[in-house]
Each structure stands twice: as C-alpha cells, then as structure tokens.
Structure 1
Amino acid sequence: MRSANPARHVSLPFPRAPRYGPEDQAAVRDLLHAGRLSDTSRGPAIAALEDAFADLTNTVYALSFASGTASLHGALRGVGAHPDAGVVTSPLTWISAILVAFHAGSFPVFADVEPGGVNLNPATIATAGQASAVLVTHTFGIPARMDALTAVTGVPIVEDCSHAHGARYASRPVGSWGAAGCFSLMERKPVSGGEGGVLTTNSRTVYERALTLGHHPHRLAAELTDPALRPLTSTGLGYKTRMPTVAAAIASVQLRRLADRMAASETNFARLLDVLHAHAAPITTPLVAAGSTRGWYGTPLIITEPVPNPAALFAACTAAGVPVRPLYEDWLSSPLLQDPALLHEAFPHVRHTGWRPPDPHALPNYQVARRQTLLLKVPDVPAADYMHQVGDTLATVLTQAIR
C-alpha cells in the first residue's frame, strides 16, 4: 500500500556492520606473530585466498595481485592483448578498466552499453574496431550477458568482476565465463583486503603468462612450466604486483561472510522495490537474467521518465538522505583521453597504434544511462525499517524533481 505520509528525509542512520571485525583482526595478529607479512612464493595466506577464489568461481586457477587493476593487467598479458588491435570495453566502468589496455601495451576501443542497461552490448562489439581482447565489466554487480558476448567476439574475453563478487550468470559464476576473470579487493568492495586483486582462469597458459608480470622469481621457479616462459624464471617482468599476506588473510575471512551479506542485500533491495512500486515511482532496474545472481557494489536504478537535470536529482537525493553514490565521470571527455600529447607522454607506444580520441557522443545508450541512472547503496545487514524509509523518501524526491 502507498504510505499515507511519505517520508521527506531519511532520518535513520545507514545500517552497517564493522568493516573489519574480530575475525579479521585475529587473522592479522596471527600474521604479525608469525612475522610473515610478505610472501615471495605461495605461502599459507596466499594459497588459502587463491584456493578460495578458485572455489568461488569454479575455476582451476586463481592468482593474487596487489590490486584489481594489476589483476586486469595480468589478464590482458595472459590473453595476449597487443598494440596492433585494441581492447574493446565500455566507458561505463572505473577508469582502471580503461587505462589498463594502455598498461598492457594495447589501447581501449569503446563499445556502447545495452539499451536500458549498464553492461556492454554484444551487438556493438563487432563494429567498435579491430580487437585483440574484450574487457567486460559486470557493471554495478549486474552480470553481463556472457553467453551472447562469447558467441560474437571471436577474441579472448576478460571479465572485470570487481563489482560482482559471488555473482552468477545463468547459474555459472562470473569469473569463469571468459579466458580470465578479475576481482578487486579494495576497501569498499564486497570482499575487502584493504587493497588487492585476484585473477581466475581455467587456462594454464593465461595463468603462467599473468604470473610472470609481477610475481617473485621464487614463485616463478616453482610454477612456470611453459618452455617459452621459463627464461623469465630468474627475472619475471619486474612489476612487483604480488599481494601482501595481510590483504590475503583479511580477504579470506571476508569471503567466508559473503553469502550472508549478499542475502541481506537481496532482502533489503526487494523491500525497497516493494515500497517504490507501492508509490508507483518511475523506476525500473536493469535486467538480471534467469538463473542469475547479482553482486552488490552500487545498485543501479533506472529512472523511466526523462531526467531534465541529473545533477539536481542527485543533489536532491543527497539532501534528503537517500544513500546515492555518484556515477563515474564521463571518461570519454577526460583530458587524458582527449589530449594526444598528454596521452603520448604517459604511454609512448600509443603513437604507433590505431588509437584515436573517442567521440563522447558516439555511444547513445551510454549517454542515456548517464542521465537516467541512480546508484544506490544497499546495506548488507538486515535493515527493514531503513529500506522502507529510503523507498518513501526516494519516491517523494522523484515526484518533486521529475515533472
């Protein structure tokens, strides 16, 4: 039923559990007592986290890194991205998932998102440009249509799962569909190590090529089997992107709580949608395919009526206490991607590639998504009263802001 007196402000505090509780702290203390905060091989803390992510994604291999960005870099090296053809990606992602194409010696090629959605549109990949890889983000936790993507690309796919820990597409874990999957463990992600990243794959070749990027020669000597890579045993490639053991220990503890937090978020979001429906609020959500499970890192709501001023709507939500997050900047218009001199100074190899500054207006669905999407923070602890108040308040804000 529609509330008789819709709330005009969220007065309840955002419900949250401590980010790092007693179990996390105990894991760190154990490492301090053991005197092992760094690992040049594959010691217990690193092995436990990698094995846990392989289990989470039902993959053969998992490889830890110092950041999610480093894991993407390792994945693009693993699948053979190169300067003669770009890496197709969506601009509706964090900047690291764009710039990492340059890090890997290639360059980004932008394709549009799906109509009414936030993920890469499989139908736009073939016309985006020549590609050596596709990097697809499961944006804001919504699993991308991996069956359609794998059917049309013809080149290796790297899944950016940094928003989608524990998510599944068509009953199969994200991070297992492509040639590699990559997860971020930075502080605000559903599984945190403070910082860190994990690559998952079923390919021994991808695993070993990624291993050479920044892991210690001790580990390379123990694990490299490819004759073409064995000459790198004593040196690797020197990026030093291995994960500290503290991050691995904390993330392993956090991963054990992921299912409970996901269930709480799902319940909270369902309650919110019930309230918004009762108010007949002009809101829908991106499609989550049958048999799929979404992740929880910023929750996209699509406004179904034209939003005349997205900045004003965001400001009104914030002023009313609705827990919204800003969308990413429009990276297509950023100085780094628009100024060739700035880009060439940072990445000299780009002079010899097919890179051209992107046209910010060439991706119409992306521009619509930027205007019509609100990102909401959904608690991962039970929060019935809070979600009801958020739904009432958001409905009121939309009534006033969209005319």
Structure 2
Amino acid sequence: MLKSTTALALGLTLATGATAQNYDPGASDDEIKFGVIVPLSGPASAYGSTGTCVAAYFDMVNDNGGVNGRKVNVSVQDDGYNPAKTLEQARRLVEREGVLFIAGNIGTPGNSAIHRYMNQRKVPQLFLTTGASKWDDPENYPWTMPYIPSYAAEGRIYAKYIKENMPNAKIGILFQNDDFGRDYTDPFVAELDDEKMVVAKVSYDVSAATVDSQMSALKESGADVFINVASPKFAAQAIRRAGEIGWEPVQFLVSISNAKSAVLEPAGLEYSTGIISTQYLKEPTNPVYAEDADMIAWREFKANYFPKASDGNWWDWSCYSTAFTIEHVLTQAGDELTRENLMHEAQNLKAFEAPMLLPGIMVNTSEDDFAPIEAMSLMKFDGENWALFGDIIAVD
C-alpha cells in the first residue's frame, strides 16, 4: 500500500512539473510579456507609432479580460532606425526583460541586425512590418515571420504593369541604399526583362539631408517613369522636388510610403495626384468603407485607445491588423505559452480573416511558407483619396 501511495505521489509531482514546463520566459499564470522595437526617434520616426498602436491594442485587450485571463504587457523600445541600436534593444528585451517573443518590429535594416540573434536564441521574431523576401525562410530561420507582402513581389507588380501599359518607358529609380531599397529594385529590374528600360538608377543614404541632387539627376536622364523606392521622409521630399523642378513622369510609389498624411500631404497633394502604388488594406479615408464593420471597430479603438493615430498613415491601421493576429496566435496557444508553441500556431493560420484586409485577401501560413499575405491591388491617388483599380493580384 505504501509503495502504491508513493508511486501516486511521484506521478502527481511529475504531472505538476510537466504543467510548469508549459511556460517559457515572459509567460505565467497571470501575464504574457512581449516586446516591440520601432523608431520612435531618428529619420524614420514616422513609423514609430506602430509600437504605440500595438501597445494600445493590448490595453484594449486587457480591459476586456486579457488573453485567456492573462494580462498582456507590451514593452515598446526605440531603436532610432539604427541597426546597432535594434540589436541592443533586442538583447535588452530577451536577456534583461525576459519577453516571451518580439513582434511587429518595423524596418528591414533593424530586423536584419537581430535576425540571426533571435534565431540563435530561439525567440520568435513575429509579424514584422517589413516586406524583405528573406523573412520567408523557415528552413534557415524558423523563428522569424513577416506580416506584410514582400517588397520583391510588389516590385514585380510594378514592372509587369509598366511592360503591359508602357512598353516604351524610360525609367528612373530612386532607392534607399540598403537591403530595403535593393529588395524592391533588383526584382523590379529583373522582371522588366530589358534592363535598358532603366535609364537612371540613383541611391541615397538615410543619413542624408535631402534627395534634391538625386532628383535633378533623374530628371536630366530623360526618364518619363519614376520609381520612388524611399522611406516616408525621403519619398515626400522626392515627390515635392519633382514638382518643384517641373519633372512630370508617371510616378510609382512603394506601399510602405504611400501614407497620405505622412507623405503625400507634406509633398503637396498637387504633386501627388496620379501616383500609382499598391495596397492590401482598407483605407479609413475612403468613403467606400464608411459603414464597414472593420472600420467601425477601428474608429472605436482609435477614439478610446489610440487618439493620435492618423487615418492617412497606413502603418497606424496596418498595426491594428497585426496586433489582432498576435492576439489570435496567443489565444490559440492557450496555456502552452512556450516559444515553440507560438511558432507552431503562427505557422498554422488558414484563411484567417484579420481586420482591415481588402476583401478576398486572407492570412495563410504553413510550416514551409512563412509569408502570411500574398495578394495586393494597384491603386492611384486622385488628389483626395487612393482609388483601387484592377483585380486583386496574387503574388509570391
């Protein structure tokens, strides 16, 4: 009898120990803690509100009971769009603050700086707000997953459109001199099939004051199509400068910089009219979505938790979609709040309908496909709003 009692006690001890193993650092019975690294300062500070948005979203979640009864604590850190600082902040979050994961980081340079570190530490680097194609590499980097469509796919969409509609185009390209710029530009040029269509290709560094000289060079090249591969500050400068010097090419603007309030308005709406870009999200400023259920929920969230948000900045409502997806993954993880299980749930999203996505676009992932969103639509700015045209284009 004593032997069986001892065995039962041992079994209970082992069961209790097994239950305890369902938590990795950053998780407990009462709390889930994760981090976000964004440029709250520096040349790309316009993007910093994404971190504020994610934190505000989980303030709302916490006010409604949390995730499976747990409070979600979001630690937002500033990297100033400096890759060295991104690595410093990632180490802080993982080694000092002990977060369960990092999610929603913005920018290719910073995420590149922590890519290897996060995978070596086996800490999820989830739903990045950067479309670099290298994030979709589950074989070599199984702890990293993007959220937005890839820059490479977007670049190819522009090239296909130009080939079909402007076969005699003379193309000038402005691009940021880093992985972000090249990830758009190289696939765009490759898709053209004829590199001679590109008559000028000039770069700028994020430390530069302006891109005035680059824009003068592009005008002098005789280009009649302008591909603007720049982050918001420089994209706005380029659009305004083209107008000021009387250069009137057909303009294509990368989606990460097509925000009306942060880019087009500073550039001048008169200079922005006619610009072509891509979108995978519903635009809050578009009257078509005035009574849309997603938009009603967004406006309520904005009013109560994120009043500084701009309806004209795509990242201020893209992050709402991202945060919703993070919440879904945490909810699905249940009480098994381990880093491994989070990645399991993140790579098993099937036709998931996240808010703010255009009709017909859903989130899909698998163990060998870490690209959640693989469809976009072309759109043109009419001087007041962006107007979609054509069909949803599936990309890969």
Provide TM-score, normalisation by structure 1: 0.29
Write 1 or 2 for the structure with the bigger share of strand: 2
Q: Say which structure, 1 or 2, has more relative contact order (CA 8 Å, 6+ apart).
A: 1
